Amino acid sequence: MVMDRVIFHCDCNGYYASIECLLNPSLKNVPMAVAGNPENRHGIILAKNEIAKQAGVLTAETINEAKRKCPNLVTVKPHHDLYKEYSTKINQLYLNYSEHVEPFSIDESFIDVSQTWFNFANSPKELADQIREKIKTEIGITISIGVSYNKVFAKLGSDLKKPDATTVIAKHEIKDKVWTLPINRLIYVGKVTEKKLRNLNINTIGDLARLEPSFLEQLLGKQGKTLSIYARGLDDAKVPKFTEVEEAKSIGNGTTFEKDLTTWPEIKKGLKDLSAEVSQRLQTAAKTASVIQVQLKTFDFQVRSRQMTLFNPVEEFIEIYQTALKLMTELWDEKTPIRLLAVTATNLQDTATAYRQISMLEWQNPAQQNSWKEAKNKQEQADKIQQLVNQINQDIGDSSLQLGLKENGKQSQS
């Protein structure tokens, strides 16, 4: 008999807000929110603490809207570097329990503890509780953990009880714990899909599971097939090793020069060769990058680096080279001799599905979502676009700009 896997999905509760409260404990006892642009009343709420949540403050609304419900709301600006730093620390803690740790977003990770949980506890649930305590005492924030035999239900579980809770969904419990839930609780069921399904009176995950898979595939294409597999509890996606995730994250190339570089022509030549190789490797791997980083080491071993996030992911030599050159003009003082140069492409995505430009028609049609990574990017893109739309609407003083929907090839307005 094959044993069920044991997979955790760990989700930090109100992550940005929790980190801000950690660094400034006086924020703990007041309603507070992290907002994109706190000086501007049109700035958008990115996260809120439990008190603000109780007062009705919502993520993605404007400060104006939030303050109408919660007049004494304190807003702070985001510290993204810090969130990243803590995210790394948290994943390092998870790595004590298994080498199969896969960050899913800045504050969410999957851990496969199938081969290890019994080294730490009497049950998977006990280990999950132990990890929650560990994060609480060593980091100072709370997390929710979903425990199940596949990633989809582990993720679902972490969402069911929060903050600071463990939810177990065993195979024999699917009927009671999963199939009774509304369809939008299932990952990848967005607003468009939800509407389509509800129109057909498919309202719960159980309704989905009981449908003929071929019917769902006809209705929603590839996504329908995936959702059917998920609803029936048949997802078998693996949690890769953390080292594998890290390796896949960037493609970079550096050179230490025999003679220090001191002129622009020399530096341009160096950047050109490095960019060409990075481009080549990206294309071989069928990846595009949305962040380009340049690093240099001076003759006296000082290391400096700078990176740029690009609106459109790139893989072409010329795009990488131009970005690298631009970064270099900001980095180099035009006199310090340079010993080492490196160009690195990060935030990689599969070229086939990479996001090329803001297409308000495309982003809501998740027909091609197959891998978890893509979904994450899609979600981030969707969030970003929603924020942009909110911002533009606020600026022009009405809500005339809405997201266009595309269904069955026809264009309609939502």
Q: Report the catalytic residues.
A: 108
Closer residue to Mg ion (CB): 163 or 213 = 163
Closer residue to Mg ion (CB): 109 or 226 = 109
Return the amino acid letter for 77: K
Cα torsion for 396, 399, 401, 406, to the nearest 10°?
170
Report in angstroms how near the CB of residue 94 gets to Mg ion at its nearest: 15
Closer residue to Mg ion (CB): 14 or 313 = 14
Exposure of 254 by Cβ count < 10 A (0-12 exposed, 13-18 middle, 19+ buried)?
middle
Report in angstroms how near the CB of residue 162 gets to Mg ion at its nearest: 8
Report in angstroms how near the CB of residue 107 gets to Mg ion at its nearest: 4
Closer residue to Mg ion (CB): 53 or 232 = 53
Neighbouring residues of 380: CB distance < 8 A, sequence distance ≥ 6: 105
Token pair 């341009």 in the structure block, residue:
268
**For residue 159, what are its two tokens?**
């969402």
Report in angstroms how near the CB of residue 102 gets to Mg ion at its nearest: 15
Exposure of 411 by Cβ count < 10 A (0-12 exposed, 13-18 middle, 19+ buried)?
exposed
Closer residue to Mg ion (CB): 15 or 179 = 15
Phi-psi region of 401 (alpha: psi -120 to 50; beta: other; left: phi over 0): beta
Evaluate whether 152 touches 187 at the Cβ level (below 8 Å): yes
Chain residues in the site for Mg ion (CB under 5 A): 11-12, 15, 107
Pairing of strands 287-298, 338-350: antiparallel
Distance in angstroms (rounded) separating the CA atoms of residues 290 and 360: 19
Report in angstroms how near the CB of residue 11 gets to Mg ion at its nearest: 4
